[in-house]
């Protein structure tokens, strides 16, 4: 039967941690400790990747790389990546439990999807040890997907590789990638879905891509909110997303729309 069988959600910035702030502040801090002042935009750009890959991507940015060479008189090396990551992980673990509140509307959306008979998987840029903290705290607050996989389960081949999605499909017994919807809040999430051959959906409000906290977002004027949403949605579409949604509350209705497209023989990628 040509219908969506499962939905695979990202965690921070999609399901929990509105604005995805837990890792961002730590990235800024560890670079500051190394004598390099990075911007919030630079810290967010690789978001969604395995965190050591994220650090490597930041060091590879032209401006950050130049600052590093000016500071240390040499290009960064793998030992620098590992040293920064060794500082990053324990710092993140200290604060991680504080950033596990489900984003408004997520619990209700997931309940609606499960009522439709859909299986709920998840992928993340966090390691398995980080996810033990996130999953336990989110469960206490009412959010619990059927399963989660981390880059530790795919030999550290995290996003934008599709392997975490494939592990979800295997575990949840989803029969084809085009019967799967991947939802996330970063460019790497979108690319993960595209590379897996799934329907790739970007969620705008609460996303790392938008980069605003809950209070910051609601403090904006209506026109400024619309501008921020539109900019975020355009970024997702430009990176291959099949669809964008403003909030997770729109997802059950989007699933029905995709089911209609599948019935017509359409497949992911038609929007690109």
- Which strand ranges, in their side-by-side order, compose the sheet holding 243-245? 119-122, 6-9, 180-184, 199-203, 243-245
Helix (H, G, I), strand (E, B) or coil at 122: strand
Q: Per residue in 55-67, is it b (16+ CB within 10 Å) or e — as a string?
A: bbbbbeeeebeeb
Helix (H, G, I), strand (E, B) or coil at 4: coil
Beta carbons of 202 and 233 less than 8 angstroms apart:
yes
Q: Give the Cβ contact number of residue 159 at 10 Å.
A: 31
Is 101 marked within a binding site? no
**Active-site position among 17, 51, 179, 242:** 51
Quick check: is 10 catalytic?
yes
Is 12 marked within a binding site? yes
Task: Quote the CA–CA distance of 261 and 161 in Å, as a whole number.
Answer: 26
**Active-site position among 10, 53, 189, 242:** 10
| CA within 13 Å, CB half, 26 | 23
Task: Quote the CA–CA distance of 60 and 49 in Å, as a whole number.
Answer: 14
Is 10 marked within a binding site? yes
Joined together, the tokens standing for residue 237 give 């579409």
Joined together, the tokens standing for residue 203 give 């969620």
Joined together, the tokens standing for residue 184 give 């996330």
Annotated binding site: 10, 12, 185
Annotated binding site for Mg(2+): 10, 12, 185
Which residue numbers are catalytic?
10, 51
């Amino acid at each position: 039967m040509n219908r969506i069988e499962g939905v695979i959600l990202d965690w921070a910035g999609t399901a929990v941690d509105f604005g995805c702030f837990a890792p961002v502040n730590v990235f800024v801090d560890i670079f500051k400790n190394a004598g390099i002042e990075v911007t919030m935009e630079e810290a967010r750009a690789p978001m969604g990747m395995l965190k050591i890959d994220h650090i490597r991507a930041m060091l590879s940015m032209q401006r950050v790389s130049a600052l590093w060479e000016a500071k240390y008189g040499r290009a960064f090396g793998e030992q620098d990546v590992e040293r920064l990551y060794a500082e990053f992980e324990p710092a993140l673990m200290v604060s991680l439990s504080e950033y596990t509140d489900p984003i408004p509307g997520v619990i209700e959306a997931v309940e609606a999807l499960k009522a439709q008979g859909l299986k709920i998987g998840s992928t993340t840029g966090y390691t398995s040890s980080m996810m033990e903290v996130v999953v336990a705290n989110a469960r206490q607050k009412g959010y619990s997907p059927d399963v989660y996989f981390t880059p530790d389960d795919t030999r550290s081949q995290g996003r934008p590789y599709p392997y975490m999605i494939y592990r979800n499909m295997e575990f949840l017994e989803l029969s084809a990638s085009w019967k799967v919807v991947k939802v996330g809040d970063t460019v790497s999430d979108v690319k993960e879905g595209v590379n897996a051959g799934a329907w790739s959906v970007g969620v705008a409000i609460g996303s790392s891509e938008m980069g605003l906290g809950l209070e910051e977002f609601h403090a904006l004027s209506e026109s400024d909110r619309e501008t921020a949403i539109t900019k975020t949605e355009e970024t997702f579409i430009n990176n291959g997303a099949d669809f964008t949604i403003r909030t997770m509350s729109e997802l059950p209705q989007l699933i029905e729309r995709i089911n209609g497209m599948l019935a017509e023989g359409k497949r992911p990628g038609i929007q690109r």
